[in-house]
Amino acid sequence: MSTSTAHRTSGAESKLMSGAQTLLECLVCEKVDCFFGYPGGVTLPLYDALYDHPIRHILVRHEQNAAFAAEGYARSTGRVGVCCATSGPGATNLVTGLVDAMMDSIPIVAITGQVTTKLIGSDAFQEADTFGITRSCTKHNFLVKTIAELPQVIHEAFYIAASGRPGPVLVDIPKDVFQAQTHYTPVSEIHLPGYKVFTEGHTGQIRRAAQMIWDAQRPFVYAGGGIIAANASDELRELVELLDAPTVNTLMGLGALPADHRNFVSMPGMHGSYAANMGMSNADLLIALGVRFDDRVTGRLAAFAPHAKVIHVDIDPAEIGKNRVPDLPIVGDVKRVLQKLNKVLHDLAPANRDRNTSGRAAWWRQIREWKEEHPLTPETSNSEIKPQHLMREIDRLSGGRAIVCSDVGQHQMWAAQFIRFNEPRLWINSGGLGSMGFGLPAAIGAQFACPDKLVFAVVGDGGFQMSLPELATVVNHGLPIKIVVMNNGYLGMIRQWQELFYNNRISQATLDSFPDATMLAGAYGFKGRTIEKPEELTPALEEAVRENGPYLLNVRVSPFENVYPMVPAGGAINEMVLGPPQPVVA
Amino acid sequence: MLQVISLLVENKPGALMRITGVLSARGYNIESLTVARTLDPTLSRMTIAVDVDAQLRAQVIKQMNKLINVLQAADLTETPSVKREMALLRVRSSVSNRAAILKESEIFGARVVDSSTEGFALEATGDSEKLDEFIDVMRSYGDIEVTRSGSVAVSLEVKKLRLSPPVPKNTPVEIVTEKLETRN
């Protein structure tokens, strides 16, 4: 092998290389094709090694967005997303993204630089205790003290991030470790004796679950982000069709069962549909798959699904019984468990299929009635663009196939209600942490991961302004992201709560001085426009989608629209507020 | 009642922080914590006594078992186990008290580890309640200074230790030599 390819090892013989080169080598071994980062003082050796290395580095404009972009990459593909930041402020800026990935179980690996080992603990320039700070916001983290352990640690980091319940892992690498030289030999095995991953599911429990399912009159499938993390959509579909059970996908699980599937009801929870919440509340069996009974789904826990027995499948034993104590827990990878469960259900079908037909038919009738009673229908108006109308138009253009990265707030809920997702990994949003500023950088990551897909960044005027610097990244790489700003001039969800629960005292929720979208996009060298009339909406969205490069569409929507249905905080989910209070006629 | 947790953990930097983090993140106050190496020097045994709401005990154990550095976390609160604690006391005493202090120590099974004109240094072991009593008694003789070790516990049930076996690392892939294609 010639010296010019010295940094590209494929054989087992060891080569002298620096820590920085070793790291890049390990990333290549992990099949990382690009990563998102921002250089700094202590990562200079890494960026020097990167100079003539084939791996692609995407320079973002703020480290937080490197983490969000890595999440967008991971959420849209299921592969581990990678981000990189320098010590001190670089590392602290990653923290929000790490917590975000932790809350939504997204596999990312964060590489941070650290001051030279001798200086650690001396309050050196740009020093922060990254290992300590990120302990609670990662699935696991490492501080690499010597180059000898570097390759092992990097591979362990990827293994931990991607396996079991996925999550973020951070590796903190001091500058002198980047610079040290080592004879690199590829790592042959990973040994983490204390890392317990339960995948298979208990056979006896699965058998009992199957019997419970056939015994139920009013079964209801409650499927979440775990289905998407486990790539278990096919297995979910098989289960749902086998039972002909009504199914909800949580905010994190949208797309797990196709939105157009006849058994799909909608999203449950605080802003879920009437049928979804009534279904949960009246079911006699809840089949909970890869969900964590989040408070935004259950409402008041004591009143949640009061008539239901619960089967809870989750890969994380700590989720079992955390909020709702299940009647039948199964710890395992939901894909493996569903494969086995479907098989047992099939085997038991001949003896059971016809047992509860009338009960189940009545259950479906009831669900359809609820759907018809209070359907999720988008508001429209002739004088102003209703936000729901905007989402319905995006849905029409997407046809359930585009990637939609949302930010956090009202637009997120309307997007979840009105945009259909017919495949997993299309709906990308910050569910657990609810980080504003997530939408645009996540779209950047998703577009890099899926260059041939249509990617929308559906954002509010608040969150968009938190991610503004990344417009440069979008333009730099000619990413054809369609940025749609649902602009109501407010922090809409804050205003909604202040209106409903704080006597309409709108405090610090007004967002004035939004820039001219045409000029803003123009300043970065791409197209943008503002619309406010309903008749402009369809042509403008079509124009945005037709555009080869990025597009910024600023949609002025009716400012006082609120998200309904709504379960007030602390309420039971069948006590929904279905619409705005009717105006009092004087 | 205090929850007593016994943990077998990898002897690595940060392991203690992760474990106490599970407790501090939920606002639980640790009453005592002991840690020392096991026969296998790469592992440590930790005993923690902590005030946890009864219905959250199982959750705490699960969260600890999730930690990658933790090989096993077990709740010994209500399972058969032996719990012991050691206390070192310095008792200042007048000449007239000395015999009584020695007699009292004998009753509690404490040993004299230092004796001077000032008084004694005593070493006592037992369960925490017994030590409380001993300390109370010694207090009645004058100024004392106490250092307690915190509980160490051993389970009387054999619990199988399940360890994850090594996983083969995928063989490294051939690297693409050109810069990966840049769009636009």
- Residue B161, class by beta-carbon neighbours within 10 Å (0-12 exposed, 13-18 middle, 19+ buried)? exposed
Q: Is A175 a catalytic residue?
A: yes
- Looking at chain B, the whole-number percentage of residues with pLDDT higher than 70 is 92
A-chain residues near B168 (CB < 8 A) = 188-190
Task: Tell me the mean pLDDT in the region A234-253.
Answer: 98
Residues B184 and A478 sit within 8 Å (Cβ to Cβ): yes
CB contacts < 8 Å between A and B, how many? 105
Cα A268 to Cα A295: distance, rounded to the nearest angstrom: 11
- Which of A25, A63, A238, A393 is an active site residue? A63
Q: What is the pTM of this model?
A: 0.93
Partner-chain contact A478 B10, CB within 8 Å: no
Task: Tell me the mean pLDDT in the region B92-106.
Answer: 92
Phi, psi at residue A530, to the nearest 5°? -115, 135
Partner-chain contact A135 B183, CB within 8 Å: no
A-chain residues near B170 (CB < 8 A) = 29
Say what the pLDDT of residue B161 is: 83
Say what the pLDDT of residue A9 is: 44
pLDDT by residue (tens digit) across A107-120?
Answer: 999 999 999 999 99
Task: Tell me the mean pLDDT in the region A52-79.
Answer: 97
> Residue B180 is nearest to which of A33, A136, A196, comparing CB atoms?
A33
B-chain residues near A10 (CB < 8 A) = 172-175
A-chain residues near B162 (CB < 8 A) = 196
Say what the pLDDT of residue A585 is: 61
> Residue A317 is nearest to which of B62, B171, B183, comparing CB atoms?
B62
Any A CB within 8 A of B66 CB: yes
Partner-chain contact B180 A56, CB within 8 Å: yes
A-chain residues near B165 (CB < 8 A) = 191
Q: Which residues pair with A257 in a beta bridge?
A: none
**Closest alpha carbon to A418 in A450, A393, A382:** A393
Cα A301 to Cα A324: distance, rounded to the nearest angstrom: 7
The nearest alpha carbon in chain A to B164 belongs to A193
B-chain residues near A33 (CB < 8 A) = 180
Say what the pLDDT of residue A581 is: 77
Task: Tell me the mean pLDDT in the region B150-175.
Answer: 78
- Which of A17, A30, A175, A393 is an active site residue? A175
pLDDT by residue (tens digit) across A470-495?
Answer: 999 999 999 999 999 999 999 999 99
Residues with Cβ within 8 Å of residue A117, at least 6 apart in sequence: A145, A174, A176, A177
A-chain residues near B178 (CB < 8 A) = 54
Say what the pLDDT of residue B101 is: 95
Return the number of other C-beta atoms located less than 10 Å from residue B129's C-beta.
9
Cα A399 to Cα A75: distance, rounded to the nearest angstrom: 20
> Residue B184 is nearest to which of A9, A29, A477, comparing CB atoms?
A477
Partner-chain contact B180 A160, CB within 8 Å: no
Q: Is A493 a catalytic residue?
A: yes
Q: In Å, how far is A317's CA from the nearest CA of chain B?
A: 7
Q: In Å, how far is B56's CA from the nearest CA of chain A?
A: 9
Say what the pLDDT of residue B181 is: 39
Partner-chain contact A56 B182, CB within 8 Å: yes
Return the number of other C-beta atoms located less than 10 Å from residue B107's C-beta.
9
Any A CB within 8 A of B27 CB: no
Cα A147 to Cα A180: distance, rounded to the nearest angstrom: 7
Any A CB within 8 A of B171 CB: yes
Any A CB within 8 A of B170 CB: yes
Residues with Cβ within 8 Å of residue B130, at least 6 apart in sequence: B108
Cα A93 to the center of its chain, rounded Å? 19
Residues A541 and A554 sit within 8 Å (Cβ to Cβ): no
pLDDT tops 80 at residue B175? no
Cα B75 to Cα B58: distance, rounded to the nearest angstrom: 8
Q: Is A127 a catalytic residue?
A: no
- Which of A278, A493, A566, A576 is an active site residue? A493
Say what the pLDDT of residue A13 is: 57
Residues A550 and A480 sit within 8 Å (Cβ to Cβ): yes
How does residue A7 score in pLDDT terms, banded at 50, 70 and 90?
Answer: very low
Q: β-strands B43-50, B30-37: how paired?
A: antiparallel
> Residue A189 is nearest to which of B21, B59, B167, comparing CB atoms?
B167
Partner-chain contact B59 A187, CB within 8 Å: no
A-chain residues near B69 (CB < 8 A) = 194
pLDDT by residue (tens digit) across A265-307?
Answer: 999 999 999 999 999 999 999 999 999 999 999 999 999 999 9
Q: Is A217 a catalytic residue?
A: no
Question: What is the enclosing helix (H) or strand (E) of A486?
Answer: strand A482-487
**Closest alpha carbon to B106 in B85, B129, B127, B124:** B124
Q: Which residues pair with A247 in a beta bridge?
A: A221, A264
Cα A456 to Cα A451: distance, rounded to the nearest angstrom: 13
> Residue B169 is nearest to which of A28, A187, A479, comparing CB atoms?
A187
Q: In Å, how far is B75's CA from the nearest CA of chain A?
A: 15
Say what the pLDDT of residue A8 is: 46
How does residue B167 score in pLDDT terms, banded at 50, 70 and 90?
Answer: confident
Partner-chain contact B175 A10, CB within 8 Å: yes
Q: Is A125 a catalytic residue?
A: yes
> Taking all residues of chain A, what is their mean pLDDT, rounded to a whole number?
95
**Closest alpha carbon to B120 in B151, B141, B136:** B141
Cα A392 to Cα A534: distance, rounded to the nearest angstrom: 12
Any A CB within 8 A of B17 CB: yes
Cα A235 to Cα A229: distance, rounded to the nearest angstrom: 13
**Closest alpha carbon to A250 in A274, A276, A275:** A276
